[in-house]
A and B are shown apart, each in its own frame.
Chain A
Amino acid sequence: MRLAPDLAPPDARAARLNPLGKLGAVLILSLAVLASIDPVTPTVALVGVLAVLPFGGLAYDRLLRRAWPVLFGAVLVGVANMLFAADQGGAVLLAAGPVHLTTGSVAAGGALGLRVLAIALPGVVAFATTDPTDLADCLVQQLRVPARFAIGALAAYRLMPLLADEWELLGLARRARGVDAGRNPLARGRLFVATLFALLVGAVRRGGRLATAMDARGFDAATPRTFARRHPFTGTDAAVLAGGAVLAAVALAVSVGTGTYQPLVG
């Protein structure tokens, strides 16, 4: 069970890496991109990430097929910010009625779109190639996150698909009772809230039953847990983590070196 199973084949090399190395690298890179608002830093970061993907067993065409909403979202953010950017400086490129594009607004919008893509894409790839069970195991074993939290969250996550089925069933049951909203947006809102409430009541009860079943199997015991599954942090994982840091440094260095660097603050 993975978070976005179709993005990469299940036996891809990236799927066998320790989740912490992968997510750590992505986190460092994202912080570097977040900290700078110029277009060069995210561009370098993106080029770097795209360059290493094949080594993780990911194919570009499959990535484009499955992760296009990320690309679409980034383009949308970019275009919206070009149109409504506060920065209206520079030469006017296009002025047609309400549409007013200047070099300043295009640069600002483009940079924002690139940043969204440079942060979202590595994150999506990292999570898509991570098994939630492995992630919880590593959080407990290597980062010493309390099992009560990590394994508890994992168990709750397993209930999520049930929630989707339940939502559909509640909607049908309301229709069977003669309750629908038709085209009235206010009635729609009320019906949505009422159904959501019923869903939450059911989810809380179910969560309580699951927690009881877990405690019955000794989850609440003071005995120190052992681990049936081991996920060693190998040299490759260390290299992945270091690679993320190096790529972040290179992106910032290129940006500063070319004189385009603009910090988020200051």
Chain B
Amino acid sequence: MTTVAVKGFSWRHAGRSAWAVRDVELTVEPGERILLLGPSGAGKSTLLAGIAGLLPTDTGEQEGEILLDGRPPTGTHRPGILFQDPETQLVMARSGDDVAFGLECRGMPAGAIWPRVTETLRTVGFGHPLDRATAALSGGEKQRLALAGVLAPQPDLLLLDEPTANLDPAGAELVRAGIAAALADRRRGMILVEHRVAAALPLIDRVVVLSAGGGVAVDGPPEKVFAEHGASLAAQGVWVPGSVPPEHRTTRTAGAELLRAERLGYRHRDRPTPALSDVDLAVPAGQVLAVLGPNGSGKSTLALLLGGLVPPSSGRVVATPALAAGGRGDTPRRRDATVPPHRWRAATLAGRIGSVFQNPEHQFVAARVRDELALGPRRLRRPAGEIAATVDDLLDRLRLAHLAEANPYTLSGGEQRRLSVATALSAAPRLLVLDEPTFGQDLRTWRETVALLGGLADEGRGIAVVTHDTDLVGALADRTVSLAAGRLTTPAEVA
């Protein structure tokens, strides 16, 4: 059984002036299950990496120490740690080989490896054969396999760094079930970093909250911590139980129709079955249309089609004159009304339909926040004075003014999300198409995003958002349709 002693631990990444973790004092007894909370930037992930022995001394500056049973963690003297992104945790091409990888590293005799692999996969509920290609697994299955790989050496302590943040609800459920099974015999301790507290509550018996300025702010049993500090934790972005805002009641009135999908279908090259078929849908101005569906239902493909980014394989996307009149500046022609969005020049498209991708970083092309915002209007050849006014207005409205000179890649998750919406708005499109705008966000960023999008719809913009976040739909959507296996399951009433 493992005892963790964190003694006055501080860590500063090489080349940074601020400490990532400051003066943390913490003892974890064998078998304890801790939920580690704290505002974004308090150093939760860095502390976990330190306990896992993953902060090599040449990558930063350390004060204090972390001991596992009296020795610093290193080599095979480490707890198990599961990270957020399943793609960058799987090492091998076949599922069984991946679980065996950690056992090989620990020098386990070959004869003992395969029985252990099979046993661990059974524990986490992985139902596929050992030779199943890891590339063919869904996100949730990949993460469950990664969990098996971490558990196979039977660590006494399990560290979990937002293990379900990258997964859809079904995938997250798979992984949570696997974690519960791994902890069922109560022989193993756990430290969990997770924004969504409700889902974690059944697994934990102690809550530790890091403070933004360093040290431990709160430490105690869950009921007590949430009763006494629930409000301040919610303000810091923690999804404490009951923190989801009430559903919005007043349905906005639909304005003119902007974009229409008619029998829309799409098939990826080399795929036998279409990703999307026969979708009929209308997006009006002044309303939020939500498209719900699990991963693989064709949601993201629909967002790309509506955004005019890929050509449909069948059916069509029709921009109404109300939409195609926007984005002036780049050779507006009368026949534009009949040209489908995927054939518009990029600058014209950006002036009419703004697309916001799931990962904000995919959309960043400039070295400064200010240049990022100036790009859209510049491509539309707007006058310099107008560009400057647009940029300043967006910086103010989205509270990015203090970051105007910063590099977009250095922003926090919430700031990056605001910037990605701002970049889409900079060319003043009447329609916004967003793909999972609230993916993996803490409560604070989530609330900001909801308020931002609601405000844009109130201004009269059309908003189409594809998501599996039902809280988002409840708080924001005026109309909701559902996709399953590439088809609409709820008929959309065409306005």
Write out the residue numbers on chain A whose beta carbons fall within 8 Å of the beta carbon of B149.
217
- In the assembled complex, the CB of A176 is this many whole angstroms from the nearest CB of chain B, namely 4
Instruction: Bin chain B's interface residue count.
Output: 35 or more
Against B, the Cβ 8 Å flags (1 = close, 0 = not) of A161-196 are: 110000001101111111110100000000000100
Query: B75 within 8 Å of A by Cβ?
Result: yes
Expressed in whole angstroms, the minimum distance between the Cβ of A201 and any Cβ of chain B is: 8
Give the CA-CA distance A174 to B309 in the complex, in Å.
10
Indicate if B110 sits at the interface (CB-CB under 8 A). yes
Which residue of B is nearest A2, CB measured? B93
**Which of A132, A151, A162, A178 makes the CB contact (< 8 A) with B376?**
A178
Interface of A is mostly: helix
B299 CB within 8 Å of chain A: no
In contact, A177 and B423 (Cβ under 8 angstroms): yes
Residues of A within 8 A of B83 (CB): 209, 212-213
A220–B90 CA distance with the chains assembled, in angstroms? 16
The answer, yes or no, to whether B127 is at the interface (CB within 8 Å) is no
The residue of chain A having its C-beta at the shortest distance from the C-beta of B87 within the complex is: A162
Q: Report the separation of the CA atoms of residues A116 and B251 in the bound assembly, to the nearest whole angstrom.
A: 69
Complex Cα spacing A182 to B117, Å: 53
Total cross-chain contacts (CB, 8 A):
160
Say whether, besides A151-B91, A178-B380, A173 and B357 are in contact (CB < 8 Å): yes
Q: Nearest-CB distance from A216 to chain B (Å)?
A: 5
- A178-B350, A226-B110, A230-B110 known; A221+B75 contact, CB < 8 A: yes
| In the bound complex, CA of A158 to CA of B133 (Å) | 11
Beta-carbon contact of A213 and B379 below 8 Å: no
> Is B91 touching A214 in the complex (CB atoms < 8 A)?
yes
User: Interface digits, A207-226 against B, CB 8 Å rule (1 contact, 0 not)?
Assistant: 00110111111111111111
Measured CA separation A118–B90 after assembly (Å): 38
Q: Is the CB of A172 within 8 A of B76?
A: no
Chain A: minimal CB distance from B407 (Å):
11
Give chain B interface residues in 36-91, CB to chain A under 8 Å.
49, 52, 54, 75-76, 78, 80-81, 83, 85, 87-91
Interface residues of B (CB under 8 A from A): 49, 52, 54, 75-76, 78, 80-81, 83, 85, 87-94, 97, 100-110, 113-114, 117, 133-135, 146, 149-150, 153, 304, 307, 309-310, 345-347, 349-351, 354-355, 357, 361-365, 375-376, 379-380, 409, 423-424, 427
Q: Interface on A for B, CB 8 Å cutoff?
A: 1, 131-133, 151, 154-155, 158-159, 161-162, 169-170, 172-180, 182, 194, 198, 201-202, 206, 209-210, 212-230
